[in-house]
Structure 1
Amino acid sequence: MISSSVTATATASDAATAAPERRATRPRADALRNRERIVTAAREMFVEFGPDVPLDEVARRAGVGNATLYRNFPDRPALVHEVVLSVMRRITARVEEASAAEADPFAALVRFAHAAADERIGALCPILSGAVEKDHPDLIAEGHRLETSVQGLFERAQAAGGLRADVGVGDLLVVLSQLTRPLPGTGCPDFDRFVHRHLQLLMDGFAAPARSGLPGSPATLEDLRTVS
């Protein structure tokens, strides 16, 4: 009887000890907010100044201490990796939001293009070219999800007759990349005003019926992978 009581007491004590340990492994809400602030600040500063911006400046813009930044991201590659993942997720979300907001697939494609431009995806191309491990499983999985979403929206717009037949999704991504790639540290103060104006002119060129024939063949996602 005494033995059973001791065993029960020990079991209860072990459970009580284990519970705080399990709770301690869960990130606190403020820790998650700090991490998100760091990623947001890094994304903004990478766009403005390139991926070599001092991490102390990233921490300052995020409103956290250096120790908090390095606790979340021990080195620059870890932070760049998370920024690229974040942007991929955000752009995929823009596809879903545009599709839900617009009944017409071509209108949804145009809406997505403007939303993607706001993410300044072209500014990430130099980062992707050498600052991250492009073969990382997380990046491959998120990239596949993004490509599938954009390709699906593109194909729906063509099937509905609103998007000309002689273009490929790669053509759209090249347009977005070129229009949203300001030189690091030399941002145009009227960027937002001009990029959306010029993007709309280009999106009008994607609409069916086509006003003229295009030289060459449509750019595909595979073409872009070959170039990169």
Structure 2
Amino acid sequence: MAAAVSTRTGGPRLRADAVRNRERIMQAAGEAFVQFGPDVPLDEIARDAGVGNATLYRHFPDRESLVKQVVLTLMDQISERAEAAHNEVPDAFDALCRFVFEAAEQRVGALCPVLTKHVDQSDPEILAARNRLETVATNLMNWARRSGQLREDVGFGDVIVALTQLARPLPGTGCAEIRRFTHRHLQIFLDGLRAPSRSQLTGSAATFNDLRSTVPAHRV
């Protein structure tokens, strides 16, 4: 008999096979949202996940619950990558680089912009996940700054903007094409974060509040 496994939100425990189905649905949903946007038919997501429609709706009764879970899982995974980089990499700037590259691999820059407006920004789970991500990533950047390797005039929001711009598919191209160049362009960006800086930035460092203010409030 398959073992039972707890869900993220502390709801009913799921059998291991149900957990695998749920994970396959979320992975297929993330890929579909990147390529086609958040309004992609749920039937197509179920087909790509290799499950029936009934299985998808058993886990996610509507589109909003699926989008929310994809966003929560993504932010949790990125936070865990930041914490792991902080704990496992001895050099502060190398740890920051590892985090940025792994965040790009998780498609945070491609997924968050297309999904954010479809999520209730005041939802307690969303707020908690976002605050955790901002805290652990900012701690990582502060470590690099204290080591004298990170320029003083950048913030975590600047990293998010760069990930958003560099990891999203270009108009008229497929996801595979842009991913060929993402690491190359991120390395150029990261080199620009190193101290001592060779230029003076205009404006001020972006914050999560700055980024949130550009997204209209939306309740699901």
TM-score normalised to the size of structure 2? 0.87
Unmatched runs of 5 consecutive residues or more in structure 1? 1-24
Correspondences of 1:184-199 after superposition (within 5 Å): 186-199=173-186
Does structure 2 retain, via aligned residues, the 8 Å contact 1:50–1:184? Answer: no
Give the whole-Å Cα distance in 1 for the aligned partners of 2:171 and 2:188. 25
Whether 1:142 and 2:129 are equivalent positions in the alignment is: yes
Show the counterpart of 2:104: 117
Q: How many residues align?
A: 203
Write the deviation string for residues 89-126 of structure 1: whole angstroms up to 9, x where unpaired: 11111102222331111111111111111122222212
Give the whole-Å Cα distance in 2 for the aligned partners of 1:73 and 1:168. 35
Show the counterpart of 1:58: 45
Show the counterpart of 1:226: 213
Give the whole-Å Cα distance in 1 for the aligned partners of 2:130 and 2:138. 12
Query: What is the Cα deviation at residue 186 of structure 1?
Result: 3.9
Name the amino acid aligned to 1:176.
L
Show the counterpart of 1:47: 34
Whether 1:30 and 2:17 are equivalent positions in the alignment is: yes
Name the amino acid aligned to 1:214.
L
Bigger proportion of residues as helix: 1
Whether 1:207 and 2:194 are equivalent positions in the alignment is: yes
Does structure 2 retain, via aligned residues, the 8 Å contact 1:166–1:214? Answer: yes
Q: Secondary structure at the match of 1:189?
A: helix
Query: What is the Cα deviation at residue 184 of structure 1?
Result: 7.8
Unmatched runs of 5 consecutive residues or more in structure 2? 1-11, 216-220
Q: Secondary structure at the match of 1:133?
A: coil
Query: What is the Cα deviation at residue 185 of structure 1?
Result: 7.6
Write the deviation string for residues 129-156 of structure 1: whole angstroms up to 9, x where unpaired: 2x12121111111111111111111111
Correspondences of 1:76-95 after superposition (within 5 Å): 76-95=63-82
Structure index of larger Rg: 1
Name the amino acid aligned to 1:68.
T
Does structure 1 retain, via aligned residues, the 8 Å contact 2:21–2:51? Answer: yes
Q: Which runs of 4+ in 1 moved over 6 A?
A: none
Whether 1:174 and 2:161 are equivalent positions in the alignment is: yes
Give the whole-Å Cα distance in 2 for the aligned partners of 1:213 and 1:184. 31
Show the counterpart of 1:6: none
> Using a 3 Å threshold, how does the CA distance of structure 1 residues 139 and 59 change in structure 2: closer, same or farther?
same
TM-score normalised to the size of structure 1? 0.84
**Quick one: which of 122, 126, 140 aligns to 2:114?**
126
